[in-house]
Each structure stands twice: as structure tokens, then as C-alpha cells.
Chain A
Amino acid sequence: MNLVLLFTMIIASIAFVAIVMLVTRWISPRTFNRQKGEAYECGIPTQGSTWIHFKAGYYLFAILFLMFDIEAVFLFPWSTIVQELGIKALVGVLFFLSFLILGLAYAWRKKALEWK
């Protein structure tokens, strides 16, 4: 039943957006003007395309995020049985987290966390 409801919600959200967009396209006025189609960059004519090689300093953060996000995926099942495992859970996760913190310390040391 839950999966059916999830599927329903996905369909419902798509339908909701589609209906809103269709209604607004239907009742809103439409006039053509060549200037309207330009990208809005504060009135200055657009120079070239935006889809160029882009220096994004974010990719290092994205890689680090992947590492830590996978860690969260591993930790979630562990977190539900901490109370059953007791001290074993603590020792196990201590090892796991120490490796992670080592990784974070390495990235910190290599100045990957600095914004350039």
C-alpha cells in the first residue's frame, strides 16, 4: 500500500504542476517581442553562451560529499541496532569513524576544504 501511495504522490505532483502550467498558459496573455526572449542579465546584451568550461571550485566538495554520504548510508542501518549490540556497536563504529575522520583530516591538510 505504501508503494502504491508513493506512486500516487509522484503522479499527483506531476499532475499538479502540469495543470498549473497549462492553466497559466491558457489564461495569460501572449505577445511577441524579440527583446523578451533575451536572457535577463541586468539589461546588458548577453555575451556568448553560458554553457562553457566553468571553473567550479565545488567539485572537490562534491567528491568529499560522496565519501561522507556513503558513510551515512552505512551508518543508518547501524544506528537502528545500537541498543541491541551495546558496547560492540560502539567499538565497531569507533573504528569506522576514525577512518573517516582520518580522511577528513587528510583533505583538510591538503587544503581541499579551502575555497579558492
Chain B
Amino acid sequence: MDVILVGLFSLAIIKATPLVYGALCGILGERSGVINIGIEGMMLIGAFMAFMGSALFGKWTGAAFSPNLALIVGLAIGVLSAALVAALHAVLSIHYKIDQVISGTVINLLAAGITDYAANVYIDPSHLSGVGVFPEVPIPLLSQIPILGKIFFSQQPMVYFMFGLVIFLQYAIFNTPWGLRMRSVGEHPSAADTVGINVNRTRYINVILGGALAGLGGAFLVLESVGRFQKLMTAGRGFIALAVMIFGRWTPVGAFLAALLFGFAEALGVRLQFGDINHLYALVVIIAVIVLFVGAVGLIRSWVIRSRSSRSLVVNLSLIGLGALTLIAAKLIQFPDMAIPIEFLGLLPYILTILALTGLVRKAVGPAAIGRPYEKQ
């Protein structure tokens, strides 16, 4: 595989990371029965406060500490602020029992307004600049693996943290008492209440924890990618994260895989803007990646989620092989220059999400008690 493809996949991981954090926020909320369409707003606040925190800390302390410390301080402030915003969502939807979609809309409106307003007042006039981004930390040994090492293990620390978090939450939600309680609150709150689980407390904790994760996703946009805050820089990623959550059927590993697909679509869009990729070649690569992806998902599903997958190991492996072979073969062929309106491929994730909801791909059904405030009988 050549440099362009490795770069593309590596970029896909980076683009997927904030989506995974956002989707995990959604999963924690919805598994306990609280809809969160305010992920966008929480990410935005996280991004803004992470920037302000790191930039101001860097400015006030001067060169006394390493810039990484300023980044960590910014990260902490971003996460805490997003958790606070999530607490507002929790109070509005759990205590005041207002419609959870309305509450999420309130969060989004407020976050957009506050960050735009504060950026106008505090960033633009003084030309406040950031303190840079976290460095890439290649993991010893693992980053030496050909191809995969470059893609997965030569990233920034928050990407690794995301990997760990996905595995941890996947285990915790489905294999620990904590996860069982959370899911029972989301599926059947009155039954959970009967066995002594505090429904509303579980919901508060999950929504606020989720907000912290969304804050991480927002902070990632600032502290790992561009190093500065731009107005409305989340650009709809909070909503895409919702789609990722649904497409991943409310499981962390599923969301991770879905986010890879969405991240790949975004990375491809970025690469195509350079105009140095042959459109026909890109099309073949996309098809190959989808085949590879389907095979990989099949494998992971049969191992991690232990579902009764209809596809056998042989089929999955041959799908992966076929995808990889196509990728290599595509490299050897000289494609004629053709202008295909390849922008439309960017629509694929949205269409796939709709199909997942309709059950035409595989029906995605959320927790049963979602959206309903709990009232003790």
C-alpha cells in the first residue's frame, strides 16, 4: 500500500475520534433512557473552553511550564465545562421533565450563542492564540507493524485513549453490574426501581459522564487538530455522532466501527479537495474499503459481540482478502482521467444511517424507555 492510502486511513482514524467520543456520550445517555441531541452543543463548549483554558494558562504562566501542561489544563477545563452543560441537560430533562429533544435544542442554541459571543469578546480583539497541539506518540513495537502500525499506533494520545475507552465501555456496559443497572434503567425503569436501583441518579450520572466525553471530543478538535478555536467548529459532528451511535446499534464497538466509516468518508472528502487523486481510482478504493469493512465488522461481531453471525469465518476472511487485494490491484492499474461527481459519495453515511433505522440493512432498535421521564408510581 502506498503513502496516500496509509495517510488516508490514518486521517480517517483522526476524523473518527471526535465522532466516537460524541457517540459514547449518546450511548451513555440513551442506555439510561435520556435522549441527547445536545451532543453538538456539549462538544462546542468543550472545544471552546479547552481552547480558552490552554491559551490563557499558556499566556499567564509564560514559558514556565511545558506547553503540554497547558494542553492538559485546557483539556480538563473543556471536559469539566461540557460536563456542566450536560448537567443542565440532565436537570432540565430529569428534574423538570421537559421534552428531551427540546432540552437538547436549548443546549445547542445556547452553546452556539455563548461560544460565538465569547469568541467575539475574548478571542478576536486580543488575537488570543493557542499553545499548539498534543504531539504524536508512536507506540513502541506496535507502531512497527507494517501498514497497521502507521494507521493505528502512530497517533496522538487522545486517539489511544479513545481506543481504550471503547473497549472498556463495551466490557463495562455488557459485563458489569454497573452496566446492567444502566441498561435496566433505560429499558424498564419501574422494574429497575423495584429492585432498588435509583433511576434518576443513574440517569444524572450517565448524562453528566456523557457530557464529559462529548467535551473530550470537542477538546480533541482544538487540542489535536488545529490548535485554535473557530466559531461553530463542531460543524454538525454532534449530530453525526448520533447517527454513529444508531448505526453502531447503541454499542461502543459498533459505534467505533460506524465512526470509522463516517471518518473515512470525511477523510476522503478532505483528500479529494487536493485534486491529486484520480476519481475512478478513488471509487475503486471506496468499494474495496467497504468490502474490507463488511468483512472486518463480521469478524469483530463474531468475536467481541458474540452474536449469532450468519456469516462464517471463511466468508469474512475472504471478504477482507478480496478488499485488500482490490486495494493492491487498484494501485497497479492506470485509470483514465474522468470527472465523476464524487461528492455524492459523501452522502453514503447519511443514507446508510437512514437505512439502518428502517431495518433495510439491519434494524436498529434503541432502549425502550428512552425519552420518557421517570415518575415513581
| A and B held together in a complex | no
Interface residues of A (CB under 8 A from B): none
Q: Using CB atoms and an 8 Å cutoff, list the residues of chain B in contact with chain A.
A: none
